[in-house]
Structure 1
């Protein structure tokens, strides 16, 4: 599971809102699919740029994650590296593309856990649930002892 960072939580929420408001969505397009839309938010690259980078190598996001090399200078690897720097893990890219991370799905009622990976509404619901999960994990790390150094006047 991703590291819960404010940057990632914010990007998930913004991406979900953007999709909800009608941002271009096309599951079979590397720049307009589940990962592609999140990549747009995290990297400030366009749908077209992301797709162009991905097409320099074979495969979907799952295969791109499998073939990822941190020392490569291939544009798709640089893009993935930027996403990983925001807190994502390679496994998260695979789960996001299929909407199948068990921790995220456990936040839905049992009858609503069968999300369709290529349906905008399901992608939005998944991203919101994931952002909430990460925010809870982040807040759980904050303790009152970290605030003891603050003096109140």
Structure 2
């Protein structure tokens, strides 16, 4: 599952808002599909640029992910690099394109889960909304853990100072 962080959460929220407000969606277009829309938000490349980069190699997002090489210098690999740097994994991206992540699907009520279609804009929005809620919950948990760790460290420092005084 993706590494929960503010940049990724904001990218999902931005993608969802754009899709709800009429952003171009076309599952067969590398820059306007499920991954393509999120990639636009993270990389700031246009759908046309992403599609052009993808056409320098063969296949859809899944093929591009299989062929991904971080040292190739190919523009599409640079797009994927930016997605990975934002906290996603190659597996996350493959699942996003097919709406198939087990972690996300288990949070979707059963009847809706089985009726999701990978190439229906409303289903993509719903899937992303579910995923971003998971990311937000994970991020909040991380912040609470970090706060507790910092409190423990502060208490330890205070106790050490008292003992040494």
Deviation at 1:17, TM superposition (A): 1.1
1 or 2, which has the higher helix percentage?
2
Residue 2 (structure 1) aligns with: 2
Residue 13 (structure 1) aligns with: 13
Q: Counterparts of 1:1-153 in structure 2 under 5 Å? A: 1-114=1-114, 115-142=116-143, 143=145, 144-148=147-151, 149=154
Deviation >4 Å, runs of 4+: none
Deviation at 1:147, TM superposition (A): 4.8
TM-score (norm 2): 0.87
Distance 2:135 2:148 in 1: 21
Distance 2:137 2:98 in 1: 23
Deviation at 1:138, TM superposition (A): 1.4
Deviates most, 53-62 or 99-108: 99-108
Determine which structure has greater relative contact order: mean sequence separation of CA pairs < 8 Å that are 6+ residues apart, divided by chain length: 1
Per-residue Cα deviation, 1:9-30 (whole angstroms, up to 9, x for no partner): 1111110111011100000000
CA-atom RMSD in angstroms = 1.0
Rg larger for: 2
Matched position secondary structure for 1:113: helix
Distance 1:141 1:31 in 2: 32
Gapped runs of 5+ residues in structure 1? Answer: none
Gapped runs of 5+ residues in structure 2? Answer: 155-165
How many pairs are equivalent?
149
Distance 1:25 1:141 in 2: 33
TM-score (norm 1): 0.94
